[in-house]
Amino acid sequence: MSQKPDASFAGNLLRWFDIHGRKDLPWQRTPTPYRVWVSEIMLQQTQVATVIGYFDRFMERLPDVASLAAAPLDTALHLWSGLGYYARARNLHKAAKEIVARHGGAFPESIEAVEALPGIGRSTAAAILSLSRGQRHAILDGNVRRVLTRYAGIEGYPGMKAIETQLWALADQLTPVDRSAAYTQAIMDLGATLCVRSKPLCADCPVERACIARQRGLQDKLPSPRPRKARPQKTAHVVIAVDSSGAVLLERRPATGIWGGLWSFPQFDGVPEAEAWIASALKAQGSRHPWPPHHHAFTHFDLSLYPLVLSSVSPGSQVADSDRYCWYDPRTPVEVGLAAPVTELIKAVTRGR
């Protein structure tokens, strides 16, 4: 850190928040630990505007810890479909079960107990307890990292351990005792609305006079980017089997890994493996229609799916008798979690009928 932080940081930020801060988001109206927890998990890697609709639907169906814990995982994944990063939903469901089993259904009050729950790290635990219970805890989510690296002029990739330690110390130093919940929301709002990744609105920032990045013209250089690595490219072949009624055969993905617990098309490393499965599992000799690859970008790699469409399969083929498979009818869809590329391909198949 280039210089000691300005002692007026919290005060200036809170005064700005009182006028410009976000105070009427759905999870802010009744900020119970459960509602704040679900919102914080949804907001990881996802913009507020996208989250609002998902949050409202989730709360309407699963309004509390008990209902989430009692619901099938498929219900949680169905409500999450399209939001991405599905491990978040799996961990949310698993954590709800732990809260019921270990905490009598009451959300834990200590940060150590909250952080011990699946899918909840240090910053998320701190945000939940701060926003729902007014406890003083420093947070360090993506928005806050960006604010603090610019404010204090901290160079170096924030994901490096030494930089992260420095940022945590600064975050704790700046977090006030009074109005800590408002401060937590304020610093997240600052990063989300003014101190954005590109073209930050420095002229409107309440702490810009003490911001080292602003003083030195480093706004576009901080935070320092992740060291570049070649982006992995992966491929897979999927069988899209469609019966005469228009239902599509889906297979449940393994609990871990890509699209864990979601329903997708049977997937294979190559065409020979796909053809062998068609012959053995579906006993189908109908026409195959190779489609152009469907590309999908994940956080750390790109995936190209090569669809092999098999039409007019016998309805209710025996393979569907297993818990591993189901026939999914887009006209009367069951509540299962579907990855975005699967939804897109199902729509494409339906349009082509």
Let me know if 40 is a catalytic residue: yes
What pLDDT score does 278 carry?
86
Start-end of CATH 1.10.340.30 domains in the chain: 9-216
Give this prediction's pTM. Answer: 0.81
Q: pLDDT by residue for the chain (353 residues), tens digit each? A: 444 556 699 999 999 999 999 999 999 999 999 999 999 999 998 999 999 999 999 999 999 999 999 999 999 999 998 898 899 999 999 999 999 999 999 999 999 999 999 999 999 999 999 999 999 999 999 999 999 999 999 999 999 999 999 999 999 999 999 999 999 999 999 999 999 999 999 999 999 999 999 999 999 999 999 888 888 899 999 999 888 888 899 999 888 878 888 899 999 999 899 888 888 888 765 677 889 999 988 878 889 999 999 887 765 555 544 578 888 888 888 888 898 889 999 988 887 65
CATH architecture of residue range(s) 9-216: Orthogonal Bundle (1.10)
Give Dmax (Cα) for the chain: 75
What pLDDT score does 64 carry?
97
Are 272 and 239 within 8 A, CB to CB?
Answer: no
Tens-place pLDDT, residues 109-147: 999 999 999 999 999 999 999 999 999 999 999 999 999
Residue 227's Cβ-count burial label (10 Å; 0-12, 13-18, 19+) is exposed
Start-end of CATH 3.90.79.10 domains in the chain: 233-352
Residue 154 makes CB contacts below 8 A (sequence gap 6+) with 1, 2, 148, 163, 166, 167, 170, 222, 223
What pLDDT score does 255 carry?
82
Tens-place pLDDT, residues 68-105: 999 999 999 999 988 988 999 999 999 999 999 999 99
What pLDDT score does 5 carry?
56
CATH number corresponding to 233-352? 3.90.79.10
Concatenate the DSSP letters of all residues of 218-278 into one string. Answer: -TTT-SPPPPP-PPPEEEEEEEEEEETTS-EEEEEPPSSSTTTT-EE--EESSHHHHHHHI
What pLDDT score does 243 carry?
84
CB atoms within 10 A of CB 198: 6
Q: Which token pair is 164?
A: 């992260």
Q: Which of 40, 98, 208, 335 is catalytic?
A: 40
Residue 234 makes CB contacts below 8 A (sequence gap 6+) with 301, 302, 303, 304
What pLDDT score does 130 carry?
97
